[in-house]
Amino acid sequence: MENKVDAGLAIYVHWPFCRSKCPYCDFNSHVRDNVDEARWSRALTAEIAHTAARLESPRRRATSIFFGGGTPSLMPPSVAAAVIDAIARHFTLADDAEITLEANPTSAEAGSFRGFRDAGVNRLSLGVQALNDTDLRALGREHSAAEALAALDAAQTVFPRASFDLIYARPGQTLNDWRGELKQALALAGTGAGAGHLSLYQLTFEQGTPFFQARRRGAIQPLDDDVAADMFDLTQDMCEAAGLPAYEISNHAAPGRECRHNLNYWRYGEYAGIGPGAHGRLRLQGALCAVKAHRSPEKWLAAVESKGHGGEPPARLDQRTRAEEALMMGLRLREGVGAERFEAATGVPLRTCLPASARQDLIEGGFLAPGADGLRATAKGRNVLDAVLGELAASLQIPAEVPVVS
């Protein structure tokens, strides 16, 4: 790293609290009556200081900050300000750093938008999820469609950039329902100075969620895979036509409007996680390591207060794991996995560990498109990426590593 320019790292900050838990969500979110916000602010800043100190060089460049959750818009703007300040003190915060906050579109939260902007947040990601009240209720959301539209309007006015999320392929939804809703969404996302980004996720049934249980009981009937696939195809076409092509499986943006923080994950760049349950991929003592914090808010808080950080010991990632992760993340992107980035992260050239012969079937089948500078999944391949990755992982040729004894 000595002679190279610091590529920088992305910093993720997790606020684990929600007003209520949505029945489809399996993220690390918790409902608590009272949150000692000052104490949480101290703990988050303490962990930032600790993370900066364990890195190989001082004051590394931070290119983006992302407040995720939970519901970080429930956090007082002063906490966001303290966190951003701490990052600016312990890292070199880039002048053009992208600072995103996830928010729920309730009127109460919309009221704090200006406070967050003043704290330094320059991009808002709004969890709209649906544009009709019936589906919002079914998804367990606490806001109405009208509230969401008002909040979006406020966000687009207040922040330089704003995006919103929708969940589709809902039980009972038809292709036509979705066509109408997406048309409306594209109109909303494509206008306004700060617009130009849209995240469209298909509903999944994750273990441990009330929706998962309901599906098992038969109380919820998920959409047929073929219908969901038709919706996915429709989504690609409509977004493309509206000037918001997919740059990742579920993310669409006008050129230049992509979320840089998330792009860094998918390009397998370095990132730090702050807060309970946050994950990081950091270069420590010359090796790329996985860093993971305690999931439980209380356990994390106690750990930070006693030893400065809430993480479990970092785990070194071997070459095969790095190669698999680089593929898993990179093939989600329309641009694919860059050969140069892949080699930098794994230490092996892409063409060596995945020779064209090993992926001939997938190329012939139209799932992968090889290029001189890397490997890309086609639109068809991105639709079935998990299966494609299974095939690729099975044919990865990585020489056995000699374990490093330190």
Cβ(29)–Cβ(72) below 8 Å: no
Min CB(150)–another protein separation in Å: 26
């962990």: which residue's tokens?
47
Residue window 271-310: x/- pattern of binding to another protein, with contact defined by CB under 8 A: x-x----xxxx--------x-x------------------
Cβ(241)–Cβ(15) below 8 Å: no
- The pairing of strands 9-15 and 271-274 is parallel
Residue window 46-85: x/- pattern of binding to another protein, with contact defined by CB under 8 A: --------------------x-x-----------------
Q: What is the DSSP letter of 30?
A: B
| 64's tokens | 């983006």
Asked if 250 touches another protein (CB under 8 A), the answer is yes
Min CB(389)–another protein separation in Å: 6
| Only segment of 83-91, 110-118, 228-236, 238-246 that touches another protein (CB under 8 A) | 228-236
- Tell me whether residue 188 or residue 223 sits nearer to another protein (CB atom): 223
* Integer Cα distance of 216 and 238 in angstroms: 33
**∠ CA 113-116-122, rounded to 5°:** 95
Compute CA 132 distance to the chain's CA centroid, rounded to the nearest angstrom: 25
Asked if 393 touches another protein (CB under 8 A), the answer is yes
Single residue of 27, 81, 316, 343 touching another protein by CB under 8 A? 27
Residue window 308-327: x/- pattern of binding to another protein, with contact defined by CB under 8 A: -------------x--xx--
Among 162, 127, 163, CA closest to 148: 127
Residue window 86-105: x/- pattern of binding to another protein, with contact defined by CB under 8 A: --------------------
Single residue of 249, 274, 353, 398 touching another protein by CB under 8 A? 249
Cβ(199)–Cβ(189) below 8 Å: no
Min CB(385)–another protein separation in Å: 4
Q: Name residues contacting another protein, limited to 178-207 (CB under 8 A).
A: 201-204
Phi/psi at 20 (5° precision): -150, 160
* Integer Cα distance of 160 and 373 in angstroms: 34
| Only segment of 29-37, 176-184, 239-247, 328-336 that touches another protein (CB under 8 A) | 328-336
Compute CA 27 distance to the chain's CA centroid, rounded to the nearest angstrom: 12
* Secondary structure (DSSP) of 351-393: HHHS-GGGGHHHHHTTSEEEETTEEEE-HHHHHTHHHHHHHHH
Q: What is the helix (H) or strand (E) element at residue 199, kind and residue range?
A: strand 197-202
Cβ(377)–Cβ(248) below 8 Å: no
- Tell me whether residue 95 or residue 225 sits nearer to another protein (CB atom): 225
Q: Residue 44 carries which side chain, given as an amino acid letter?
A: L
Asked if 229 touches another protein (CB under 8 A), the answer is yes
- Tell me whether residue 110 or residue 327 sits nearer to another protein (CB atom): 327
Rg, the chain, Cα only: 21
- Tell me whether residue 158 or residue 337 sits nearer to another protein (CB atom): 337
Q: What is the DSSP letter of 69?
A: E
Size of the site for another protein (CB under 8 A): 49
Q: Name residues contacting another protein, limited to 331-390 (CB under 8 A).
A: 332, 361-362, 365, 367, 382-390
Single residue of 394, 400, 402, 404 touching another protein by CB under 8 A? 394
Asked if 14 touches another protein (CB under 8 A), the answer is yes
Asked if 221 touches another protein (CB under 8 A), the answer is no
**∠ CA 138-144-148, rounded to 5°:** 120
Min CB(238)–another protein separation in Å: 17
- Tell me whether residue 111 or residue 390 sits nearer to another protein (CB atom): 390
Cβ(13)–Cβ(274) below 8 Å: yes
Cross-strand pairs, 246: 252
Single residue of 225, 256, 400, 403 touching another protein by CB under 8 A? 225
Binding site for another protein (CB under 8 A): 10, 12, 14, 27, 66, 68, 201-204, 225-226, 228-229, 232, 249-250, 265-266, 271, 273, 278-281, 290, 292, 321, 324-325, 328-329, 332, 361-362, 365, 367, 382-391, 393-394
